[in-house]
Protein backbone atom coordinates (compact mmCIF):
# COMPACT_ATOMS: atom_id res chain seq x y z
CA UNK A 1 0.00 0.00 0.00
CA UNK A 2 1.54 3.28 -1.05
CA UNK A 3 1.20 6.66 0.63
CA UNK A 4 0.52 10.01 -1.06
CA UNK A 5 1.93 13.23 0.39
CA UNK A 6 1.08 16.67 -0.96
CA UNK A 7 3.53 19.56 -0.64
CA UNK A 8 2.85 23.07 -1.83
CA UNK A 9 5.97 24.48 -3.50
CA UNK A 10 4.34 27.77 -4.56
CA UNK A 11 0.79 29.12 -4.72
CA UNK A 12 0.43 27.58 -8.19
CA UNK A 13 2.53 24.42 -7.83
CA UNK A 14 1.96 21.25 -5.80
CA UNK A 15 4.28 18.27 -5.51
CA UNK A 16 2.38 14.99 -5.01
CA UNK A 17 4.71 12.26 -3.78
CA UNK A 18 3.99 8.53 -3.71
CA UNK A 19 6.07 6.40 -1.40
CA UNK A 20 5.92 2.68 -0.66
CA UNK A 21 8.35 0.06 0.58
CA UNK A 22 10.52 -1.09 -0.94
CA UNK A 23 11.95 1.47 -3.26
CA UNK A 24 8.99 3.37 -4.67
CA UNK A 25 9.37 7.12 -4.32
CA UNK A 26 8.06 9.19 -7.22
CA UNK A 27 6.63 12.68 -7.76
CA UNK A 28 3.82 14.16 -9.82
CA UNK A 29 3.29 17.92 -10.09
CA UNK A 30 0.06 19.87 -10.22
CA UNK A 31 0.16 23.35 -11.78
CA UNK A 32 -2.83 25.66 -11.34
CA UNK A 33 -3.20 28.61 -13.70
CA UNK A 34 -6.04 31.12 -13.78
CA UNK A 35 -8.10 29.05 -16.24
CA UNK A 36 -6.80 25.51 -16.22
CA UNK A 37 -4.75 23.01 -14.22
CA UNK A 38 -2.25 20.47 -15.51
CA UNK A 39 -1.14 17.34 -13.68
CA UNK A 40 2.29 16.11 -14.75
CA UNK A 41 2.40 12.28 -14.40
CA UNK A 42 0.10 9.88 -12.56
CA UNK A 43 2.54 8.11 -10.19
CA UNK A 44 2.57 4.27 -9.90
CA UNK A 45 0.15 2.38 -7.69
CA UNK A 46 -2.16 4.85 -6.00
CA UNK A 47 -5.76 5.05 -7.14
CA UNK A 48 -6.31 7.97 -4.74
CA UNK A 49 -4.55 10.45 -7.01
CA UNK A 50 -7.68 11.70 -8.80
CA UNK A 51 -9.48 12.48 -5.53
CA UNK A 52 -6.33 14.12 -4.17
CA UNK A 53 -6.06 16.38 -7.22
CA UNK A 54 -9.77 17.26 -7.13
CA UNK A 55 -9.38 18.35 -3.50
CA UNK A 56 -6.59 20.74 -4.57
CA UNK A 57 -8.31 22.33 -7.56
CA UNK A 58 -11.69 22.51 -9.28
CA UNK A 59 -10.22 24.01 -12.48
CA UNK A 60 -10.60 22.18 -15.79
CA UNK A 61 -7.81 19.63 -15.85
CA UNK A 62 -5.42 17.99 -18.31
CA UNK A 63 -2.83 15.27 -17.60
CA UNK A 64 0.57 15.15 -19.29
CA UNK A 65 2.69 11.99 -18.97
CA UNK A 66 6.43 12.68 -19.20
CA UNK A 67 7.22 9.13 -20.36
CA UNK A 68 5.75 5.64 -20.52
CA UNK A 69 7.34 4.05 -17.46
CA UNK A 70 4.94 2.48 -14.95
CA UNK A 71 5.99 4.75 -12.08
CA UNK A 72 4.94 7.83 -14.09
CA UNK A 73 1.95 6.52 -16.06
CA UNK A 74 0.53 4.41 -13.25
CA UNK A 75 -2.74 2.97 -12.12
CA UNK A 76 -4.28 6.30 -11.06
CA UNK A 77 -4.55 7.26 -14.72
CA UNK A 78 -7.80 5.31 -14.99
CA UNK A 79 -9.86 7.74 -12.91
CA UNK A 80 -8.70 10.72 -14.98
CA UNK A 81 -9.59 8.95 -18.22
CA UNK A 82 -13.00 7.90 -16.89
CA UNK A 83 -13.70 11.49 -15.82
CA UNK A 84 -13.04 12.64 -19.40
CA UNK A 85 -9.71 14.31 -18.61
CA UNK A 86 -7.37 14.26 -21.65
CA UNK A 87 -4.17 12.30 -20.96
CA UNK A 88 -1.21 13.25 -23.20
CA UNK A 89 1.81 11.03 -23.89
CA UNK A 90 4.29 10.94 -26.77
CA UNK A 91 3.44 8.09 -29.14
CA UNK A 92 7.07 6.89 -29.28
CA UNK A 93 6.59 5.60 -25.71
CA UNK A 94 3.44 3.58 -26.39
CA UNK A 95 5.19 0.32 -27.42
CA UNK A 96 7.45 0.52 -24.40
CA UNK A 97 4.53 1.34 -22.11
CA UNK A 98 2.38 -1.51 -23.39
CA UNK A 99 4.83 -4.24 -24.38
CA UNK A 100 7.90 -3.89 -22.26
CA UNK A 101 6.38 -2.65 -19.05
CA UNK A 102 2.90 -4.15 -19.29
CA UNK A 103 1.02 -0.84 -19.20
CA UNK A 104 -2.57 -1.45 -18.18
CA UNK A 105 -4.37 0.95 -20.48
CA UNK A 106 -4.95 0.93 -24.24
CA UNK A 107 -3.21 3.33 -26.60
CA UNK A 108 -6.54 5.01 -27.41
CA UNK A 109 -6.60 6.42 -23.90
CA UNK A 110 -3.66 8.66 -24.75
CA UNK A 111 -3.71 11.87 -26.76
CA UNK A 112 -0.63 12.54 -28.85
CA UNK A 113 1.79 15.24 -27.70
CA UNK A 114 4.66 16.66 -29.74
CA UNK A 115 7.62 19.02 -29.68
CA UNK A 116 6.47 22.67 -29.37
CA UNK A 117 2.91 21.82 -28.24
CA UNK A 118 1.92 24.57 -25.79
CA UNK A 119 -0.52 24.30 -22.89
CA UNK A 120 -1.93 27.68 -21.80
CA UNK A 121 -3.15 27.51 -18.20
CA UNK A 122 -3.65 31.26 -17.80
CA UNK A 123 -0.54 32.93 -16.37
CA UNK A 124 1.44 29.74 -16.98
CA UNK A 125 2.28 28.28 -20.35
CA UNK A 126 3.94 24.89 -20.68
CA UNK A 127 6.00 24.25 -23.80
CA UNK A 128 6.68 20.65 -24.79
CA UNK A 129 10.27 19.74 -25.62
CA UNK A 130 11.22 16.23 -26.74
CA UNK A 131 14.21 14.76 -24.92
CA UNK A 132 14.53 11.13 -25.97
CA UNK A 133 17.15 9.04 -24.19
CA UNK A 134 15.80 7.55 -20.97
CA UNK A 135 12.88 6.53 -23.22
CA UNK A 136 12.29 7.23 -26.94
CA UNK A 137 9.30 9.48 -26.17
CA UNK A 138 10.50 11.32 -23.06
CA UNK A 139 9.42 14.96 -22.92
CA UNK A 140 10.19 17.89 -20.68
CA UNK A 141 7.82 20.82 -20.07
CA UNK A 142 9.04 24.42 -19.82
CA UNK A 143 7.16 27.17 -17.98
CA UNK A 144 8.91 30.23 -19.40
CA UNK A 145 7.24 32.92 -17.27
CA UNK A 146 8.39 31.22 -14.07
CA UNK A 147 11.56 29.54 -15.35
CA UNK A 148 10.47 26.09 -14.28
CA UNK A 149 11.42 22.94 -16.16
CA UNK A 150 9.52 19.71 -15.43
CA UNK A 151 11.68 16.85 -16.57
CA UNK A 152 10.25 13.48 -15.48
CA UNK A 153 13.22 11.11 -15.82
CA UNK A 154 14.54 12.68 -19.06
CA UNK A 155 17.65 14.07 -17.36
CA UNK A 156 17.35 12.06 -14.14
CA UNK A 157 16.92 13.55 -10.67
CA UNK A 158 20.55 13.77 -9.56
CA UNK A 159 20.58 10.05 -10.25
CA UNK A 160 19.93 9.01 -13.86
CA UNK A 161 18.88 5.73 -15.48
CA UNK A 162 20.22 5.09 -18.98
CA UNK A 163 21.08 1.44 -18.33
CA UNK A 164 17.75 -0.31 -18.79
CA UNK A 165 16.03 -1.81 -21.83
CA UNK A 166 14.34 0.81 -23.98
CA UNK A 167 16.89 3.60 -23.44
CA UNK A 168 18.29 5.08 -26.67
CA UNK A 169 22.04 4.92 -27.40
CA UNK A 170 23.87 7.50 -25.30
CA UNK A 171 25.09 9.50 -28.32
CA UNK A 172 21.46 10.07 -29.37
CA UNK A 173 20.58 11.29 -25.89
CA UNK A 174 23.61 13.61 -26.05
CA UNK A 175 22.06 15.48 -29.01
CA UNK A 176 18.88 16.10 -27.04
CA UNK A 177 20.80 17.14 -23.94
CA UNK A 178 22.90 19.51 -26.04
CA UNK A 179 19.66 21.11 -27.26
CA UNK A 180 18.49 21.61 -23.66
CA UNK A 181 21.87 22.86 -22.46
CA UNK A 182 22.21 25.39 -25.30
CA UNK A 183 18.82 26.81 -24.41
CA UNK A 184 18.80 26.54 -20.62
CA UNK A 185 22.40 25.96 -19.51
CA UNK A 186 23.05 29.62 -18.67
CA UNK A 187 19.55 30.55 -17.53
CA UNK A 188 19.63 32.25 -14.14
CA UNK A 189 17.06 31.06 -11.59
CA UNK A 190 16.00 28.04 -13.63
CA UNK A 191 14.40 25.44 -11.37
CA UNK A 192 14.25 21.84 -12.47
CA UNK A 193 11.48 19.64 -11.06
CA UNK A 194 12.34 15.98 -11.76
CA UNK A 195 10.34 12.79 -11.35
CA UNK A 196 12.15 11.53 -8.24
CA UNK A 197 12.93 14.68 -6.29
CA UNK A 198 14.24 12.87 -3.20
CA UNK A 199 17.29 11.72 -5.20
CA UNK A 200 18.84 15.18 -5.14
CA UNK A 201 19.25 16.98 -1.81
CA UNK A 202 19.64 20.33 -3.59
CA UNK A 203 17.40 22.25 -6.01
CA UNK A 204 18.45 21.17 -9.50
CA UNK A 205 19.23 24.14 -11.76
CA UNK A 206 20.92 25.05 -15.05
CA UNK A 207 24.29 23.82 -13.79
CA UNK A 208 22.83 20.33 -13.51
CA UNK A 209 22.20 20.27 -17.28
CA UNK A 210 25.78 21.40 -17.95
CA UNK A 211 27.21 18.80 -15.55
CA UNK A 212 25.10 16.05 -17.13
CA UNK A 213 26.29 17.03 -20.62
CA UNK A 214 29.92 17.16 -19.46
CA UNK A 215 29.63 13.70 -17.93
CA UNK A 216 27.89 12.30 -21.03
CA UNK A 217 30.87 13.55 -23.07
CA UNK A 218 33.35 12.03 -20.59
CA UNK A 219 31.59 8.66 -20.89
CA UNK A 220 31.37 8.83 -24.70
CA UNK A 221 35.04 9.78 -25.14
CA UNK A 222 36.13 7.32 -22.42
CA UNK A 223 37.82 9.89 -20.20
CA UNK A 224 35.50 8.49 -17.50
CA UNK A 225 35.02 4.74 -17.75
CA UNK A 226 32.66 4.49 -14.79
CA UNK A 227 32.35 1.89 -12.05
CA UNK A 228 31.11 -1.66 -12.66
CA UNK A 229 27.74 -2.23 -10.94
CA UNK A 230 25.02 -4.87 -10.78
CA UNK A 231 21.41 -4.26 -9.82
CA UNK A 232 18.27 -6.35 -9.63
CA UNK A 233 15.89 -5.22 -12.37
CA UNK A 234 12.67 -6.93 -13.52
CA UNK A 235 13.62 -9.97 -11.41
CA UNK A 236 17.04 -10.43 -13.00
CA UNK A 237 20.56 -9.17 -12.30
CA UNK A 238 21.50 -6.29 -14.60
CA UNK A 239 25.17 -5.33 -15.08
CA UNK A 240 25.81 -1.66 -15.88
CA UNK A 241 28.22 1.18 -15.20
CA UNK A 242 27.86 4.28 -13.06
CA UNK A 243 29.69 7.62 -13.16
CA UNK A 244 29.47 10.92 -11.26
CA UNK A 245 30.26 14.56 -11.98
CA UNK A 246 29.22 17.82 -10.32
CA UNK A 247 25.50 17.82 -9.48
CA UNK A 248 25.04 14.41 -11.16
CA UNK A 249 25.67 11.95 -8.34
CA UNK A 250 24.93 8.64 -10.11
CA UNK A 251 24.68 8.37 -13.91
CA UNK A 252 23.86 4.74 -14.74
CA UNK A 253 24.48 3.56 -18.29
CA UNK A 254 24.93 0.50 -20.47
CA UNK A 255 28.49 0.41 -21.87
CA UNK A 256 27.11 -1.67 -24.78
CA UNK A 257 24.66 1.10 -25.72
CA UNK A 258 26.82 4.15 -26.24
Per CB under 5 A, residues contacting Zn ion are 69, 153
b/e per residue 28-37 (b: at least 16 CB within 10 A): bbbbbbeebb
Sign, Cα dihedral of 58, 61, 63, 64: negative
Nearest-approach distance from CB 154 to Zn ion, in angstroms: 9
156/185 with CB nearer Zn ion: 156
62/153 with CB nearer Zn ion: 153
Cβ-proximal residues to 183 (8 Å cutoff; 6+ apart), any chain: none
37/141 with CB nearer Zn ion: 141
Nearest-approach distance from CB 58 to Zn ion, in angstroms: 31
Nearest-approach distance from CB 60 to Zn ion, in angstroms: 28
**Alpha carbon distance 62, 68 (integer Å):** 17
49/167 with CB nearer Zn ion: 167
Nearest-approach distance from CB 69 to Zn ion, in angstroms: 3
Cβ atoms of 118 and 143 closer than 8 Å: no
b/e per residue 121-135 (b: at least 16 CB within 10 A): beebbbebbbbbbbb
Nearest-approach distance from CB 62 to Zn ion, in angstroms: 21
6/100 with CB nearer Zn ion: 100
69/191 with CB nearer Zn ion: 69
Nearest-approach distance from CB 134 to Zn ion, in angstroms: 6
Cis peptide leading into residue 142 (ω within 30°): no
**Alpha carbon distance 206, 224 (integer Å):** 22
Nearest-CA neighbor of 251 among 191, 170, 192?
A: 170
Amino acid sequence: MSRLTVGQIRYDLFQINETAEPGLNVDAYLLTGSRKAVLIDTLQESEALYDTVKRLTDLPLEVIITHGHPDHAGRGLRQFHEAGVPVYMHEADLPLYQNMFGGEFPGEWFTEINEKDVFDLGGITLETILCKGHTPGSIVLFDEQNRRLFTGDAVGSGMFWMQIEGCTPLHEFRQELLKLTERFGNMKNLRIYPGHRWQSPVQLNAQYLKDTLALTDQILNHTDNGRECVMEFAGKPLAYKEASYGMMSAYSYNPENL
